[in-house]
Structure formats: C-alpha cells, structure tokens
Structure 1
Amino acid sequence: MSSTVYKVFFFGPQGSGKGTQAELLAKRLNVPAFGMGQLCREAIASQSEMGKEIDAVVKRGELVSDHIAAELFRQRLQRPDTAHGYIMDGYPRNASQAQAFTFDTPTHVVVIEIPEEESVRRLSVRLTCDRCSKVYAMKEGFQVGNACECEGKLFQRSDDTPAAIEKRLEIYEHDTKPIIDRYAKAGIVYRIDGVGTVKTIERRIAKAIGLRSKK
C-alpha cells in the first residue's frame, strides 16, 4: 500500500457530483470523507456547547461563522482516522473561510467541471435525504418520500429551480473560483471533466492524482 498521505479537497459547481466522487475516493483510499454540513450535523447531535450554538444559528436560518466552521474542521482533523489522509467536500467556499483555515494544507485539489446547462439538468431531477443529505436521482427510480439507507426521507429541495440554481452558480463563480485559483498557483489543482458516468469520472480522478487503475 502506498505511504502517500492524501488530503484531497473537492470543489465543483452544484450538481457536479463532487459529493459522490469524494465518497468513492475515500473508500478507495480508506480515509474519511466529510463536508461542513456533515460536521455541523454531528456537532448538533453531540449536544456539545459548540453544537448547541450551531443548532441555534441554524434554527435562525443563518450560516455558521467562519471561525466556527474552521474550528469544526480543526477538531475533526484531531481524530485518529485522519492520520493517513482525508477527503474534504466543498470547503473553504470563500475568501473569509480560506483566511480562517490556517491549520492544514491540501495535497490535491480536485475540481469537477460541468457546463451550466448540465448543472441545471442534474439538479432539477435530484432528491436529497432529509437526514444524511445523500443525493439520489429521479431517473434512477427514486421518488419523493422514499426511504434512504439511513432511514431518512427523500425530498426535492425548494431551491432546485432553474432561477435558484443559476444564482448558486453565480455565487460559486464569484466566491469559490478565486480560492481554486489560489490553490492552482501552488500546482495542486486537478481539473476533471465531470460529464460522463460515475465510474468514468472516478477513473479520471484516480488517474489525475496518480492512483493506479483498478484491475
């Protein structure tokens, strides 16, 4: 087994499939994968002081502060399962989050790129679990109200409309692209064509970051 430590950050516009690919790569490397949403939910469930603070913020319909987001990430990296690497999905999202993230450095930054029309098409037919946030596709036979493997229920997000999707894509272009450009200057960005099957994109990512093809 390779002794290389993989600290892989995934970025991509809404609907790019980065969450799916992050999980697949994590399984292949035998390292944990997580995103800020998951870390917030875990903190809330723990009923810690920070978790209670996050719960109050979420119930007010607000976003957690950059300081809290960074602290959640820092605490997660203290767990022993990250000793040989980890996969981070979608963080930092903007300049202020990047400024607060000072305690580690990614080894690879994977950017999954898809055309805007592909993003709109995918998001308009996706369902999300109300418990674990796993994403499902209607075209695969899933319907609103179906049960997720975690026993949560599938629903269609109210902001998965063409107008709302376009707004989120604009935010990605304005806020997140500059973060990616900063990592690109360090020579650690790997841009992946995100159009194709899940398996095809998985192979593209593995090849880009130097993993051997599966037999």
Structure 2
Amino acid sequence: MTNIIRRFRDRYLDVLASVYIYNEHRGYTSLDRVLLAVRAHCPDNQEFIAQVEKHRADEHKHYHMFKRYFQLRGQMPLRVGRTCGHIDHFIEQIFGCTIDELDTDAIIADPKLFEKLCRVIMLTEQRGMTQVDILLRNKFIKKDKIMMKIFKIIKVDEPSHWLPYHHWLSQNGDVRSTWRERATDFWIHKSLMLAKLPAIFIRRGTARMEFWPDEAEDILFEGTNAN
C-alpha cells in the first residue's frame, strides 16, 4: 500500500469513527429521554420498555467500542459536533427544536407526537442499518480488523433498534411514515454523505476532542451528588 493510499485510508477511518462516536453518544443520551416518554406513555407495556432499554444499552456499548478504537490508535476523535448528527437534524426538522429542547411532557400527553417520535427513531435506525451493510463491503473497513469487528456487532444489534418502534406503531398507532418524514430522512443522509463528511475529510484543521463525551456525564453526575 502506497503512503498516499494509507494516508487516505487512515483519514477516512478517522472521520468515519469520529462521526460514529458522536452519533452513538448522542443516541444513548437521547434515549434516556425517550425512555421517560415510553415508561410514562406505555406503563403497562413492559416488553416495549425492555426493548427500548436494550436499544439504549446497545448504543452505549457501541459508543465504548469506538472509544476503545481511538484509544488503541492513541488519539482523540475529531470534534465533529451536531453538524454530523443525523438524529439532531431529524428532530429539529420534524419537531422544530433541538433534542435537548424536546418537550417530553408534551410528547407523553399527545399520542400523535409520541407516534411521530417513534417514527423518527424507526427511520433513523433503518437508515443506520442500511449504512452498516454498505460499510461492511467497504475495502478500507474490510482491511481494518477492529473496525470490521465493530460493524459486525452493530449489524447484529441494528434490527432490534427499529423493530420495537415498528411493532408498537403497527399495534397502537400509524406505522406509515409521512412524505415529509421520509423526505427529511433522505435529505439529511444525502447532505451528510455528499457535503458535510467530505468537508471534514478535506479540512485538515478540524480540532480533536479534548476529553471524552462521557467524561462530561461523570462531571455532571459528581456535581449533582455534591449538591
């Protein structure tokens, strides 16, 4: 492998893993709020609650797999931020606010909003499953044993991340996504693939994280205990 190809591959994997570690962290922390809504909206549906809990646990596991990947590389992830967050943009486009501003009480109280949230999560996870299949055929991924192992694990987990929402919607709501929801998902994906990720790849000045995202959670937890 020539030096140029090696540098290209290393940069590709660096950007890819940085985007994934952001989205996995954003995923499991956001699912904490989803769990609150699910437990309140469906208190008697223990199966659905357990499935969402597993979804959250899997996202947390995936985050730590990518964290370990960077630790083995001896570097921190690139600081990509919400620019590369699929769920960030999806929530903003459909609900008109950021994930952190999402009104959990309103979603619990309004069945239509709860259904909409479930469809957004379902579409996001279906998109993620398709993307993993593509990545497992990527020649750079196939030559990196650790990345192959990570994405094979994610591939096994992915169906259980959208099927629970699909099943619940099929039994209790409207599983059919709206034209706007499908178009938003498509546009976000294309903008990430064709514009935002290539821009990060080319822009060599992108800074790296100074601390791991979950370290901020530890600091917040310690501060809460201190009070």
Whether TM-score is above 0.5 comes out as no
Structure 1 length-normalised TM: 0.28
Answer 1 or 2: which has greater strand percent. Answer: 1
Higher relative helix content: 2
